[in-house]
Copies of this chain bind each other. A is one copy, B any other.
Amino acid sequence: MDDVYVLGAGMTPFGKHPDRTAADLGAAAVLEALDDAGVALADIEAAWVGSVFQGMAMGQRALGDGGISGIPITNVENACSSGSTAIWDAAMSIRAGVYEVVIALGVEHLTGQFRGAFTPDESDIEAQRGLTMPSVYAMRAQRHFAEFGTTTEQLAAIASKNKRNAALNPLAQFKKPVTVEEVLASRMIADPLHLQECAPVSDGASAVVLVSKAKRDQLGRGRAIRLAASVLKSGRKEVGLPEMTFEDLTHRAAEEAYAVSGIGPEEIRFAEVHDCFSIAEALRVEGLGLFPRGEYPARVVKGEADLDGRLPVNGSGGLLGKGHPLGATGVAQVVEVVRQLRGEAGDRQIPGAKVGLAHCRGGKAQGVEGTACTVNILTV
């Protein structure tokens, strides 16, 4: 099977863009990724497009607005992992030897779909009774407290770190650092999670151009970043209480990514993970094996996950700081890893970044388990 490389990356500013459309945002990300890759519209052989709430033919509309039509386009949906699932499918087509230059796009325009937070589906009986995402994660936080002695202040430190990183990211939704005290003073959403610990409603798009090894050699060896592993898994039905604080789904995806790439967790220099809530970041990095189980929140307080720490987490600002336009999130994580590995991350550059990991998951279709989880490992 062919190696896969990211040759180009693009993303729009994340935030509230009521004056723009999903297609318009998607086209902007596509054109930036193409420009970054140094490839033309006509070079793109196929596309995978992740979104959740954008309706029919999102990819055809966005790519069409960008000037690309006629090629095979697959719209994919996997809840908050929609964008990273698009990358997974796109990478497969290159591994298959079917294509040499493809694009994965993630896009979401939530302000065009919902007034305020998005509401649970009528068929979601649990959510209709109050078991919405914030309450699920609040319960998981309480359980983390009970099992490991984690504290409210420690979780607030995660949110504060990510907002601080976001302030260094020109494309982030939030531009202002937020102290631990400010997090704790913000409105309680679901005890112990405050407003500043919950990902916002966002609009945005992100895209990556993936190429084969032969194309990389021909087009841009210097700027290409190797996709050493791209793994997708869905949740298992049989999991139960242990999964509240240890993510079987994340763990399984990570184990396969480490095996496929031959890169172990000890070699990961930095990570972008799915911090839809402050507690979520702890669950992710512990499930990934990047920090010892139960210890992450305390280690954040010690600065270990800071940009200049042992293993920076969500240097981009993460979902909490950069924003969370659902379908765009998984692709944007990979865009960030690519920029860090190229040394293009500006004020938030992580020194010596040679190996990065992007983790994305979504959904709660199966109890506390999720719809989908992806782990991508990238190297210079």
Contact = CB atoms under 8 A, between A and B. Distances in A.
A233 to B, nearest CB: 6
A96 interface: yes
> How many monomers of this chain does the complex have?
2
Interface string A116-128: 0000010100000
Interface stretch (A77-85, A221-229, A317-325): A77-85
A70 B233 contact: yes
B76 A74 contact: yes
Nearest to A82: B75
B363 A73 contact: no
Interface size class of A (residues with CB under 8 A): 35 or more
A315 B302 CA distance: 70
Interface in A238-292: 238, 252
B232 A366 contact: no
B72 A234 contact: yes
Nearest to A231: B72
Nearest to A364: B57
Contacts of A89: 74, 89
A56 B364 CA distance: 10
A176 interface: no
A69 interface: yes
Contacts of A252: 70
A95 interface: yes
Interface-centre pick from A57, A79, A363 (highest chain B CB count, 10 A):
A57
Nearest to A371: B57
Contacts of A76: 74-77
Nearest to A252: B70
Contact of A55 (B70, B73, B123, B372): B123
A233 B366 CA distance: 34
Interface string A46-74: 00000010011110110010000111111
Interface in A71-107: 71-79, 85, 88-89, 92-93, 95-98
Contact of A60 (B70, B123, B235): B235
B88 A72 contact: yes
A237 B79 contact: no
Nearest to A72: B232
B64 A365 contact: yes
Contacts of A55: 121, 123
A369 B89 CA distance: 25
Given A69-B235, A75-B76, A121-B55, A60 B366 contact: yes
Contacts of A58: 77
A56 B372 CA distance: 11
A196 B238 CA distance: 47
A1 interface: yes
A127 to B, nearest CB: 11
Interface in A2-28: none
A299 interface: no
Contacts of A213: none
Contacts of A78: 57, 73-75
10 contacts: A55-B123, A57-B78, A57-B79, A57-B372, A69-B234, A70-B234, A73-B78, A74-B78, A96-B96, A96-B98
Interface of A: 1, 52, 55-58, 60-61, 64, 69-79, 85, 88-89, 92-93, 95-98, 121, 123, 231-238, 252, 363, 365-366, 369, 371-372
Given A70-B235, A74-B76, 7 more contacts: A1-B98, A57-B363, A60-B234, A60-B235, A72-B232, A73-B372, A92-B98
